[in-house]
Amino acid sequence: MDRRKIVAGNWKMNLDRAKARELAAAVAARAGEAAATELVLCPPAPYLDTVATALGSAGGSSPSGVALGAQNMHDKASGAFTGEVAAPMLLDVGCRYVILGHSERRTLFGETDKIVNAKAKAALAAGLMPIVCVGETLEEREGGRTEAVVTTQVNGSLAGLTASDLEKTVVAYEPVWAIGTGKVATPQQAQDVHALIRALLGKLASPTLAARVRIQYGGSVKPDNAADLASQPDIDGALVGGASLKADDFLGIAAAFGRHPA
Ligand code: 13P
């Protein structure tokens, strides 16, 4: 089981160019504080190039060791899709990762498992590693439907991916009720769903392969709750929203995960 912890910052639609450059430079300069953890920054699309330069990742590999990721992409490689961004373009500006199927995309922009699946295949075909998000709403959890909802999302979003595709894929479990609310899942609640996701990956490919796939938790992760989450056997990192906008907090979370090697 060689799952290096991975902590990604989803900046969402925040910051301006100067602040994006400043934050990326601060994380790059201090990445050594969380050297055991793989770090990924996912800025808004217009700032990908600026952040790539700040990370030194413009050519694809980053001397700072901090990887670049995008927050979304289209499933077609080019064409008449006004306003959209294609996987080869993301690769071209230095991205290694792309977040797909975030709950905000699913809820606010109508992304279905089928769309997320098409995007995941396109990302992998282009050479990007997808971070595929799943997670239940509060109503679904309270209705006892967490397992069913997450199972449908995982099976639908990852349908048809080969074992080699899955090995390059990161799954992010983000309970919708924990996103931006300050209400973090308990380590046990998160661990239970992570174990379920790993079992589903085992059925999609094999248990050996599933043991190699990294599963992040997302939803109100902060430096003061990261250690408890990191101590769980199936939590391999975090997808961080609000706290990723401060270098201290982001690196504090990443360092907490680095103290719990797989
Ligand atoms: P918060 O960390 O702000 O709750 O956001 C989580 C998230 O949506 C990351 O993708």
Q: How many CA atoms lie within 13 A of 257 on its CB side?
A: 31
Cα gap 35→210, rounded to integer Å: 25
> Which residues of the chain carry a pLDDT beneath 70?
1, 57-63, 262
Ligand 1 pocket test: pick from 107, 170, 220, 253 the residue with the most ligand atoms within 8 Å of its Cβ: 220
What pLDDT is attached to residue 2?
Answer: 77
CA 198 to chain centre: 16
Report if residue 1 sits inside a domain: no
Is 260 a catalytic site residue? no
Is the C-beta atom of 218 inside 6 A of ligand 1? Answer: yes
- What CATH number corresponds to the domain at position 113? 3.20.20.70
C-alpha 8 – ligand 1 centre gap (Å): 10
What pLDDT is attached to residue 61?
Answer: 57
Report if residue 228 sits inside a domain: yes
Q: For the chain, what is the domain count?
A: 1
Domain extent at residue 108: 6-258
Is the C-beta atom of 221 inside 6 A of ligand 1? Answer: yes
What pLDDT is attached to residue 175?
Answer: 98
What pLDDT is attached to residue 253?
Answer: 98
Report if residue 80 sits inside a domain: yes
Report if residue 181 sits inside a domain: yes
| C-beta contacts of 157-164 below 8 A and 24+ residues apart | 157/100, 157/101, 157/113, 157/116, 157/117, 157/120, 157/132, 158/117, 158/120, 158/132, 158/201, 158/204, 159/113, 159/117, 160/117, 160/121, 161/120, 161/121, 161/124, 161/204, 162/205, 163/205, 163/206, 163/209
C-alpha 147 – ligand 1 centre gap (Å): 21
Q: Encode pLDDT of 147-180 as tens digits.
A: 999 999 999 999 999 999 999 999 999 999 999 9
What pLDDT is attached to residue 200?
Answer: 98
Ligand 1 pocket test: pick from 104, 132, 174, 216 the residue with the most ligand atoms within 8 Å of its Cβ: 174
What pLDDT is attached to residue 57?
Answer: 66
What pLDDT is attached to residue 62?
Answer: 64
